[in-house]
Amino acid sequence: MSAVLLEGGKFAVLLGGTAAEREISLESGSNVAAALEAAGADVIRVDPAEDGWPERLQGVEFVFNLLHGPGGEDGTLQGLFDLMKLPYSGSGLLGSALTMDKIRTKQLWLGAGLPTPPFTLLTAQSEWSDLSEHYGALFVKPALEGSSIGMSKASSAAELEAAWQRASDHRGPVLGEQFVQGEEYTVAILGARALPAIRIEPAAGFYDFDAKYISDQTGFFCPAGLSADEEQALADLALAAFEAVGASVWGRVDVMREASGAWQLLEVNTIPGMTGHSLVPMAAQAAGLSMADLLAEIYRLSMEVRDVP
């Protein structure tokens, strides 16, 4: 797993795009492009928000896709690159499309016998009082967004309706997920390997957009303080969850641990952030991998799964 694999390669880094996570993608892509260049690669930065961007991919050997959210992480571009016979990083069309939809991800996990918090689809016709009484506190999320965009916690009928209204301003259906009291963890996946788990401690509230990308007060602990058996159980669960939804190559699985010690799966991210606040580079570092090593392994694993003559 050597960064030598990157030397002399002609790569495109996709960054920016038109989704709500554009600014995060610009930072992620810039960090990746700089690391590739430092490793000796020939890199062009391509923003799909610009007209004629596909023409810039002529002569490129491989695409590092750092587009977060709809349009880049949902199978759309994966399908395009498959048709172009252009190898790219990360999950393919199916895994990308499924994991972008939080509701279908949870349905698949339930079908596979994997633990995930109870949930419901929220609509304008929802009975807020009945739902609040049944579920107690709920996390309300746009089902097709990432980075906690549009997400909020609701502990009453009035809060639930207001949270649904905020989430419904974004594309797609709205998910109500039962609040889990406990510790939050994330596990980075690299091929068939789970990297060391990270325990997340937001300074206040929950791990929202500000806690992920802006605040310097969020605590990240790696090692996560788990016993060897607990770390292994979490790694096994994360790998099973990743595989169940057709994801591949690299990504991140977010998990809650209840006070009883039981794990509850939250979601899968197939193109995690690569910013200065991001968790996959942190986990890779804990595993002894530099950013160049991590990118070289993503490149190697991606080439193994792409159907390119």
Mind listing the pLDDT tens digit for each residue in 241-254? 999 999 999 999 99
* Domain identity same for 157 and 241: no
**Domain membership flag for residue 271:** yes
Residue 206 has pLDDT above 90, yes or no: no
Name the domain boundary from 159, 178, 197.
Answer: 178
**Domain membership flag for residue 205:** yes
* Domain identity same for 273 and 195: yes
Q: Which residues are tagged catalytic?
A: 21, 147, 213, 252, 254, 267, 269, 273
* Domain identity same for 135 and 153: yes
Tokens encoding 149: 């965009």
pLDDT given for residue 3 in this prediction: 81
| Sequence-separated (6 or more) residues with CB below 8 Å from residue 167 | 122, 140, 141, 142, 150, 151, 152, 174
pLDDT given for residue 144 in this prediction: 87
Instruction: Give the residue-averaged pLDDT of 223-245.
Output: 97
* Domain identity same for 49 and 124: no
CA pair distance 191, 297, nearest whole angstrom: 9
C-beta neighbour count of 123 within 10 angstroms: 10
**At 152, which amino acid appears?**
S
| Sequence-separated (6 or more) residues with CB below 8 Å from residue 61 | 9, 10, 11, 87
pLDDT given for residue 248 in this prediction: 98
**Residue 85 — very low, low, confident or very high, per pLDDT cuts 50/70/90?**
very high
**Domain membership flag for residue 299:** no
**Domain membership flag for residue 302:** no
* Domain identity same for 216 and 154: no
pLDDT given for residue 293 in this prediction: 97
Mind listing the pLDDT tens digit for each residue in 141-199? 999 886 577 899 999 999 999 999 999 988 789 999 999 999 999 999 999 999 999 99
Question: What is the number of domains present in the chain?
Answer: 3
**At 199, which amino acid appears?**
R
* Domain identity same for 251 and 108: yes
* Domain identity same for 124 and 235: no
Mind listing the pLDDT tens digit for each residue in 43-59? 999 999 999 999 999 99
The overall pTM is greater than 0.85 = yes
Mind listing the pLDDT tens digit for each residue in 99-111? 999 999 999 999 9
* Domain identity same for 105 and 240: yes
Domain of residue 128 covers 119-178
* Domain identity same for 24 and 82: yes
- Residue 204, judged by CB atoms within 10 A of its CB (0-12, 13-18, 19+), counts as exposed
* Domain identity same for 137 and 110: no
